Structure 1
Amino acid sequence: MEGNINTVWKSCLEHIRSDVNERSFRTWFKPIVPLELKENIMIVQLPSVFFYEYLEKHYVKVLKNTLRKELGPDARLEYRILTTGKNESSKSSTSSKGQNDEIKNPFVIPGIRKIKVEANLMDKYNFEDFIEGDCNKLARSAGLAIAAKPGETAFNPMVVYGKSGLGKTHLVHAIGNLAKNNFPNKRILYVSTEKFTNQVIQSIKTNNTNELVAFYQELDMFILDDIHFLARREKTQEILFHIFNQIHQNGKQIILTSDRPPKDLEGMEDRLISRFKWGLSADLTAPDFETRIAIAQWKLEKEKVEIPFDVLEYICYNIRDNIRELEGLLTSLCFQATVTNSPIDLKLAERVLHQFVEKEDRAISVENIKKLVCESLGLDVESIQGKSRKRDLVSARQIGMYLAKSFTSASYKEIGRSFGGRDHSTVIHACKSIQDQIETNSMFNDKVKRLEKDIQLSFMK
């Protein structure tokens, strides 16, 4: 049967549109290009082998029924696959698919069933070097579970969030590396949001968004770093939405990082935020003093460097919120000691520290002592300034007053004013009470001595 192919194909599309939803129609049928009509055989061009495979798997009945309506019961459909950098290859609905090609790039059209992916993982990041503490225990444990059974735990997706320098990138690379070691044939990919966005932009320019989506949908583990940078990037969010849905439906693993929890992401589509909440959101917080010491000791042990413990304490007291900064300071300290042939002591540590942190706002003052006491005892400043008579709050309040009187020249009246507007007699009573407990309770004495040392190390000149 001869005829105007464009007219016939337009009629086919009208039938198909009534059988599938609008999104499927736009994604899987609009890109098809009619090439030739020979009697009862229609030849069409498809953008990729993956596209062909998807049609064969999901829409072959729709296509057959539609063609039979237009061309009769003996209608046949043949495909031509659009390829890049090669001569066009022909496929019919019964043709075999290539098995030996490999792709390593999201812009190479998938021409195989099982793609090979360069994971983009950094080998230096592993769980051995990711020191566990209360600040990261949940995220670390979940990461180990995911690496053992990618896509099979309840932690899908896993969103790791926290401020910069707390180990988010380290952790997700460690998960990827361990999963890759456990399952060498799994297709694992780490990509930054910046790179992913650039890929989306390039795919739009080259009209290859279907190929980009197809590439990512083949992954067994998709790690996307810094998703907060997706804010107000509507097209990139749309592409990610389709990729996310397919990977999750396939039972494959998704891991995301952000500087804030999903509920606080601004400029993000609600449907994406909703999906980010499907699995586990695990935060990384600033490590406590003991964890910072453990991290520093591990790094120094690996580098085969010895540092006096008082120097290590001084450094860890002053670098509180950023593990990357702590590791950088240790590297700089060791380097300067080697170059200048100087001993690693408190004097050198203080000099190096000034290159990393501003200490002007850390002079010894009632306010800073109050903050340090609260941080060390796990309390907030407002609670010890309030009127609560709970034992732990009263004790912390009195310790703060005692230390403020010991380390500053502030009067009893000034200290009382700083601690919630209390009068000078309350401060006098607090100082006497603490002194009595120091003399009669060895454990309490150790606690106060520890805080005194904290102050000395934190506010050294």
Structure 2
Amino acid sequence: MLWNTIKTSLHNTLPENEFGLWIKPLECRRQDDQGIELIGPDRFFCAWVEDRYLDLIRTKAEELGMKIEVRLQVAESPPLQLDSARSGQLCLPGTTGGSRLRSLHPAFTFEQFMVGESNLLARSACKALATGDSTFGNCLFMNSSTGLGKSHLTQAVVHQVLRSAPSTRLHYLTAQQFSAEMVKGIRTNAMEQFSKKYVNGCDMLLVEDIHTLTGKNKTQEELNTILDYLIKSGRRVILTSALPANKLSGIDDDFRSRMTSGLVTGIESPDYATRARIIRHKLQLHGLKTDEDLVEYMAENLRGDIRRMESAIMGIKAKSCLHNAPPDLTMAKEVIFKLIGASSDITGESIRDLIGRQFKVSVDDLCSRSRKRSVTFPRQVAMYLTRKYTSHSLADIGNMYNRDHSTVLYAIKAITKDMSRQESVRKQVEMLSAKLNS
């Protein structure tokens, strides 16, 4: 078959990880003289392949002497049917058990998740729940702002469970889907079946975007009842939210208490070291050279939402292909400028990251009570630069390093004095200032 030949050629061209994620899952549904029709698992997957690989697929076909049209279609999901042998458990197409009301991204696995201080606890808890380890309990409430990895971790749990324990009766859906399903149950007088599915036919429940239930009292009440039974009976539960539970408005207090009865953890924006690892990993995934100057620049300027890193890397890859040249710092600056505008403002966090890298001191050390010169001097420089380049008050700066405002004031005076008396200190601070303003 032509598609198998094209796949073999693509396998020899693309990195193994990239081929496995985006080409291997494609299946040929139809082939004729006019072209071939490929199907992918969901709309996101097909849009990604169409945007980034369709031209390459057509080129490979032409190399085989076949100038044909290549079409991409989303696989039709068969209607979900009740499996009587599993007490009303919804069957996941392609497996022997479990349910999935949401499409799984093929790259959202534990292996593809970059671990750092900002997400270590969340990742560890999810991994434990996925493998049945009760170290972190059986209920997890996980919150973060958009693009920091909540969905990646929840889907990694589902991937792991389906791979290692496919007979697990698992339900994975958003809070909005749960609410819509419940409303349908009310309208069709099928609430008893709806409740039984989650109470009697569920070993593991994952519900995303709990914050969308604000003000939906009936849905909160129903989910609260289900959670109460599942948690007390030792079933595994993972809930995610864009906001911490204590900041959710329009949420019943009993429901809030139930959701947070187990481990509660947030995912923070990744620090510099984690951002650098993510960028290196994604560059390698796309077959791009991991030049350290490029990685450093991107890690310094792409903070917060990890999706922006992916977008920037795709832009750099496109420019690299267009100019038939390896990616460099100039390409990165052009792409990032279009993505986020001029370099982001200097922040206390960016200064702390820079100081940590330059002096080879961790953030934990800078915030510790250590009085070693190798720690106190970088800390004082960081405080001095933060006062100089940001609008933070002395108290704000002190909070960043677990100190009071008087300690910050002393540090600023000490560095100012050293700069006037020691040329080496002055040059060092000037060099750091230049890096911040570059």
**Where on the TM-score scale, by shorter chain, does this alignment land: which range?**
0.5 to 0.7
1:324 paired residue among 283, 296, 307:
307
Q: 2:419 — aligned with what?
A: 431
Letter in 1 for 2:226: I
Q: 2:350 — aligned with what?
A: 372
Residues 436, 156 of structure 1: alpha-carbon distance in 2 compared, 3 angstrom cutoff: same
Letter in 1 for 2:147: G
CA distance, structure 1, for counterparts of residue 349 and residue 272 of structure 2: 15
User: Is the 1:398–1:430 contact (alpha carbons within 8 Å) kept by the matching residues of 2?
Assistant: no
Q: 1:201 — aligned with what?
A: 183
CA distance, structure 2, for counterparts of residue 319 and residue 117 of structure 1: 41
User: Is the 2:145–2:243 contact (alpha carbons within 8 Å) kept by the matching residues of 1?
Assistant: yes
Match of 1:356, SS? helix
Q: 2:137 — aligned with what?
A: 155
Aligned 1:175-324 pairs, distance under 5 A: 175-217=157-199, 218-324=201-307
User: Is the 1:237–1:269 contact (alpha carbons within 8 Å) kept by the matching residues of 2?
Assistant: yes
1:113 paired residue among 58, 65, 87:
87
Q: 1:104 — aligned with what?
A: 80
User: Is the 1:314–1:458 contact (alpha carbons within 8 Å) kept by the matching residues of 2?
Assistant: no
Aligned Cα RMSD in Å? 3.8
Residues 390, 128 of structure 1: alpha-carbon distance in 2 compared, 3 angstrom cutoff: closer
Letter in 2 for 1:222: L
User: Is the 1:156–1:254 contact (alpha carbons within 8 Å) kept by the matching residues of 2?
Assistant: yes
CA distance, structure 2, for counterparts of residue 425 and residue 262 of structure 1: 42
CA distance, structure 2, for counterparts of residue 434 and residue 268 of structure 1: 59
Match of 1:355, SS? helix
User: Is the 1:228–1:258 contact (alpha carbons within 8 Å) kept by the matching residues of 2?
Assistant: yes
Normalising by structure 1, we get a TM-score of: 0.61
User: Is the 1:402–1:431 contact (alpha carbons within 8 Å) kept by the matching residues of 2?
Assistant: no
Q: 1:31 — aligned with what?
A: none
1:7-48 deviation line (CA, Å, top 9, x unaligned) = xxxxxxxxxxxxxxxxxxxxxxxxxxxxxxxxxxxxxxxxxx
Residues 145, 213 of structure 1: alpha-carbon distance in 2 compared, 3 angstrom cutoff: same
1:183: Cα distance to partner? Answer: 0.9
Letter in 2 for 1:285: E
Letter in 1 for 2:168: K
Aligned 1:422-461 pairs, distance under 5 A: 428-432=416-420, 435-436=423-424, 452=432, 459-460=437-438
User: Is the 1:329–1:352 contact (alpha carbons within 8 Å) kept by the matching residues of 2?
Assistant: yes
Aligned 1:33-48 pairs, distance under 5 A: none
Residues 215, 204 of structure 1: alpha-carbon distance in 2 compared, 3 angstrom cutoff: same
1:321: Cα distance to partner? Answer: 1.2
Match of 2:339, SS? coil
1:358-396 deviation line (CA, Å, top 9, x unaligned) = 33763xxxxx3766334555889xx9xxxxx99867754
User: Is the 2:419–2:425 contact (alpha carbons within 8 Å) kept by the matching residues of 1?
Assistant: no
CA distance, structure 2, for counterparts of residue 153 and residue 397 of structure 1: 40
CA distance, structure 1, for counterparts of residue 229 and residue 349 of structure 2: 49
Q: 2:121 — aligned with what?
A: 138
User: Is the 2:351–2:385 contact (alpha carbons within 8 Å) kept by the matching residues of 1?
Assistant: no
Which segments of 5 or more consecutive residues in structure 1 lack a partner in the other structure? Answer: 1-101, 363-367, 384-388, 409-418, 440-444
- 1:174 equivalent in alignment to 2:150: no
1:432: Cα distance to partner? Answer: 3.3
Q: 1:26 — aligned with what?
A: none
CA distance, structure 1, for counterparts of residue 268 and residue 422 of structure 2: 32
User: Is the 2:272–2:299 contact (alpha carbons within 8 Å) kept by the matching residues of 1?
Assistant: yes
1:168-214 deviation line (CA, Å, top 9, x unaligned) = 10011111211221211001121112222222232233232222222
Letter in 2 for 1:134: E
Calculate percent identity across the aligned residue pairs.
Answer: 26
User: Is the 1:188–1:222 contact (alpha carbons within 8 Å) kept by the matching residues of 2?
Assistant: yes
User: Is the 1:313–1:457 contact (alpha carbons within 8 Å) kept by the matching residues of 2?
Assistant: no
1:335: Cα distance to partner? Answer: 1.7
Residues 156, 313 of structure 1: alpha-carbon distance in 2 compared, 3 angstrom cutoff: same
CA distance, structure 1, for counterparts of residue 184 and residue 329 of structure 2: 53
Which segments of 5 or more consecutive residues in structure 2 lack a partner in the other structure? Answer: 1-77, 93-99, 357-361, 391-406
Residues 267, 248 of structure 1: alpha-carbon distance in 2 compared, 3 angstrom cutoff: same
1:206-259 deviation line (CA, Å, top 9, x unaligned) = 232222222222111111111111111111111211221222233211101112
CA distance, structure 1, for counterparts of residue 80 and residue 194 of structure 2: 12
CA distance, structure 1, for counterparts of residue 233 and residue 159 of structure 2: 21
1:332: Cα distance to partner? Answer: 1.8
